[in-house]
Amino acid sequence: MSNEHTRIEGETIDERLLVKRANRQDLRFAVIGLCVLIVAMVALLALIADFMLDGVPRINFDFFVNYPSRKPEQAGILSAWVGSTLVMLTTAALAVPIGVAAGVYLEEYARKNWITDIIEINVTNLAGVPSIIYGLLALGLFVQTLRLGQTILVAGLTLALLILPIIIVTTREALRSIPLEIREAAFGLGADRWQAVWMYLLPAARPGILTGTIVGMSRAIGETAPIITIGALTFIAFLPPAPIQLEFPFVNFQWLNSPFTVMPIQMFNWISRPQVGFHVAAAATGVILLAMTLLMNGLAIYIRYRIRRGMK
């Protein structure tokens, strides 16, 4: 029996007891963890299920191709989903290049001194600023000072501002987590900074940047407060001009200057109506919004998976 124990200067260590104690501790934590997880999941699932029960039966083809209406049974979300899609496009087109470029600059180019430290602190803090503040900023700057109007462009600019910090921070995080060896290998070959960043660092950081982008976009698609603040309309019975046309130059940016509504605003509007029919329509809109977010996340996971597989 004494063989089973190790003695360290008078103190005996019973290894089997240590293992037994560790296993008991692991079990205890696993059970608690599982319980907590179940509580959280059940609450979430109940919420979604309630939503779905109300909303899903209302979803049909007409719901997607009808404009909002005074009659709940005829109301649809055509202008809302088109608006949301266009706003998201604008947001992504503005926020991703600027955000990634800012992240790359701060991480790879900027000298590390107190100015960049201050910028870093500010960027990180901006990610936590309430979205209504961005709405107020946009109202003051874009709508009133620059007189851009209550348009898709302004909504895109506002949401891009909102999610820029998220993209910058995740880009930096992704660049920082690249193994030092890759950086050294690139510079060791004699690559200049631009080549190192474009050929090796950014590709390696892509999964992280993509995650940040999707997190940001998922946040943007559900934002209501800043959009309301800049004065998005709640009742729109027309579509913005089509972005693609048959005549030269085939693309048309008129839609950027068009008034719009988005899905969360449509929901908000319907929820505040007294008729039960509109509440059902709001639930249905919620389900579709949820599905859109899920789709975006799914797409990100798929792309990330493809990138990872390609790298191996």
Partner 1 sequence: MDALTIEKAVAAPVDEPLRASVIDLSFHYGEKQALFDVNFPIHDRKVTALIGPSGCGKSTLLRAFNRMHDLYPGNRYQGEVILYPEQINIVSPAVDPMLVRLKIGMVFQKPNPFPKSIYENVAAGLWVRGIRKKSLVDDRVEFALTQAALWDEVKDRMRSSAYGLSGGQQQRLCIARALAPAPEMLLLDEPTSALDPIATARIEELIMELAPTVKIMIVTHNMQQAARISNYTAFMHLGRMVEFDVTTNIFTSPKERKTQDYITGRFG
Can you give the binding site for partner 1, defined by CB under 8 A?
3-4, 6-11, 13, 15-16, 18-19, 22-23
User: How many Cα neighbours within 13 Å face the side chain of 178?
Assistant: 26
What span, in angstroms and rounded, lies between the C-alpha atoms of 41 and 18?
34
Find the shortest distance in angstroms from Cβ 309 to partner 1.
16
Find the shortest distance in angstroms from Cβ 27 to partner 1.
13
Question: Residue 13 or 48: which CB sits closer to partner 1?
Answer: 13
Find the shortest distance in angstroms from Cβ 25 to partner 1.
11
Give the number of other Cβ atoms within 10 Å of residue 87's Cβ.
28
Find the shortest distance in angstroms from Cβ 120 to partner 1.
22
Question: Residue 26 or 50: which CB sits closer to partner 1?
Answer: 26
Task: Spell out the residues 6+ positions from residue 61 whose beta carbon is closer than 8 angstroms to its own.
Answer: none
What span, in angstroms and rounded, lies between the C-alpha atoms of 168 and 101?
8
How is 226-248 classified by DSSP, letter by letter?
HHHHHT--S---S-PPPSB-SST
Find the shortest distance in angstroms from Cβ 33 to partner 1.
19
Question: Residue 13 or 47: which CB sits closer to partner 1?
Answer: 13
Segment 34-38 long-range contacts (CB within 8 Å, at least 24 positions apart): none
Question: Residue 15 or 62: which CB sits closer to partner 1?
Answer: 15
Find the shortest distance in angstroms from Cβ 16 to partner 1.
7
Question: Residue 2 or 145: which CB sits closer to partner 1?
Answer: 2
Letter string b/e over residues 30-47, b meaning 16 or more CB atoms within 10 A of that residue's CB = eeeeeeeeeeeeeeeeee
What span, in angstroms and rounded, lies between the C-alpha atoms of 245 and 248?
8
Find the shortest distance in angstroms from Cβ 184 to partner 1.
15
- Cβ contact 55:284 at 8 Å: yes
262, β-bridge pairs: none
Question: Residue 11 or 192: which CB sits closer to partner 1?
Answer: 11
Question: Residue 2 or 113: which CB sits closer to partner 1?
Answer: 2
